[in-house]
Amino acid sequence: MTSNILEAREQRVLKISQLHQSNYITICVKANIPGMNKNLSEAHFLVRLFSLLIKKHYPCELIKHFESADGPYSIIQIKSSDSLKMKQELVLIEDTHPLGRFIDLDLYAHNDFSISRNSLNMPHRKCYICGKDAHVCSRTQAHSTTTLIEFIKNKVKVYLTYQMERHIYDALIKELELEDKFGLVTKSSRGSHPDMDYKLMKDAMFAILPYLVDLFIIGYEATNLNTLLEQSRPIGIIAEAEMLKATHGVNAYKGLIFILGLTILSSGYALRHNQQFESIFENIKEMSQTVLEEFKQTPKTAGLKAYQNHQITGIRGEAYQGLPSVISALKIYHDEQEQTLRKVLKHLILVSDDTVLLKRAKSIERYHQIKEKLQHVDLDDPIELKAFNAYAIKENLSFGGSADLLIVTIFLKSIQNEYFK
């Protein structure tokens, strides 16, 4: 063990001692990483994940994050006097969470010494390779450092892949099942889409979901941000083909595959490279610097025609600028209530360029008139809400581009709360 690691451990103990206060419980969150390199990206992810988990479950008075030669760690203070009960709860987290075997949740109360499992007559932790006593395996070096690290990396990747599938699905279903959505398809209505319904949208959703998860893995494993978009393009093409097969040719999520796909790629890259939440938008901006080149082509799609006629860049422009509409929408997305989600959707319609709406509006003048009309709708008034929804259906309006951005917003809020905040 190097002198730098030993010194870092001494400094960590000193930090805990300095920050510890009477009548408070101090928790140190530290990744359990073997070998000399304690600063693997997985170590940063684990410390961040479990620090946020503790923050959600307990009224934390203080959270401080540190980096050191012995790896990243967090010091958390909780005002409580029942240290034994809390230690039991922390041990339960270590023993039951899918990644708990790779984290140490040390608890300090009334002194500078942590409360151990032994002091509670609890069994030693098990080796995550063979299931025997971890202390024995460590002392005898039963498993190579390479084997242990590869095991940790694989388990973190598998965990994140599973969680991302959940986050993506939740975002898709929350948008789809939001009612009174200004003419968009819901569980109870086709809206202004006679060729779509709830079942068709769910079929399309399940068709593209595996490929969106694949995009996360590509982003997570990437080392070069600049080649990610081109690298992932074949996955997007397959996803679109599978969607059209599931819907018998109806375009349910083509725009979403692009914009949510970019967001997922960037999120995977950010998590693997220990980036902050804000970096997701910068990554998207960097990956998208060539997307406007498509506007030089002969216009065949509504998006290309919108740019040629009105210089509206639509979803491509949103990506090119790093999702500015989504950034602003996240600031008003405070809870999961349907009323809040509708307000977020309204905001996105007003601040973004929706080429789907422009196509349905049939003129740029009417496009702006529709936005102006929505601007003055009080979504807290059920009568006004129902009236605008009926108007959108009667006038055959669709805000499909903004709905895609709503899904992106929901997805990003979800991963922000769980992995970044």
Q: Are 62 and 120 contained in the same domain? A: yes
The answer to whether residues 302 and 254 belong to one domain is yes
The range of the structural domain enclosing residue 310 comes to 154-420
Let me know if residue 105 belongs to a domain: yes
Both 316 and 359 in a single domain?
Answer: yes
High-pLDDT (> 90) share of the chain, % = 72
Q: How far apart are CA 417 and CA 277, in angstroms?
A: 10
- Can you give the CATH number for the domain in which 27 is found? 3.30.70
Does residue 173 lie in a domain region? yes
The whole-number pLDDT of residue 85 equals 87
Tell me, yes or no, whether 365 lies in a domain. yes
- As for how many domains the chain has, the answer is 2
> What pLDDT is recorded for position 116?
79
Q: Which of 125, 140, 168 is the last residue of a domain?
A: 125
Residue 329 pLDDT more than 60?
yes
Residue 139: per-residue pLDDT: 84
Model's pTM, two decimal places?
Answer: 0.93
Please check whether residue 231 lies inside any domain of the structure. Answer: yes
Q: What is the pLDDT of residue 114?
A: 77
Note the pLDDT of residue 113: 67
- Across the range 138-162, mean pLDDT stands at 93
Residue 345 has pLDDT above 70, yes or no: yes
Whether the per-residue pLDDT at 24 is higher than 70: the answer is yes
Residue 45, classed as helix, strand or coil, is helix
Given a cut of 80, whether residue 226 has pLDDT beyond it is yes
pLDDT class of 41 with cuts at 50, 70, 90:
very high
Within this chain, do residues 276 and 389 fall inside the same structural domain, yes or no?
A: yes
Q: Identify whether residues 108 and 230 lie together within a single domain.
A: no
Given a cut of 90, whether residue 186 has pLDDT beyond it is yes
Inside any domain, residue 64: yes
- Report the alpha-carbon distance of residue 84 to residue 122 in Å, rounded: 12
Together in a domain, 241 and 290? yes
Of 81, 389, 146, 408, give the one whose Cα is nearest residue 259.
408
What CA–CA distance (Å, rounded) separates 109 from 20?
8
pLDDT at 191 over 60: yes
Indicate whether 142 belongs to any domain.
Answer: no
pLDDT digits (tens, 9 = 90+) for 85-122: 888 899 999 999 999 999 999 998 866 567 878 777 77
Please check whether residue 148 lies inside any domain of the structure.
no
CATH code of the domain containing 298: 1.10.4200
Same domain, 107 and 162: no
Q: What is the pLDDT of residue 244?
A: 98
* Residue 177, CB-side half-sphere exposure with 13 Å CA sphere: 10
Residues 223 and 309 reside in one and the same domain: yes
- Shared domain check, 160 and 82: no
315 versus 80: which is more confidently predicted?
315
Same domain? For 171 and 93 the reply is no
Q: Would you place residue 307 in the very low, low, confident or very high pLDDT band (cuts 50, 70, 90)? A: low
User: Within this chain, do residues 37 and 185 fall inside the same structural domain, yes or no?
Assistant: no
Say which range, 48-62, 107-121, 247-261, 279-293, has the weakest mean pLDDT.
107-121
100 with 190, same domain?
no
141 in any annotated domain: no
| CA atoms 350, 355, 358, 359: torsion sign | negative
Average pLDDT, the chain: 91
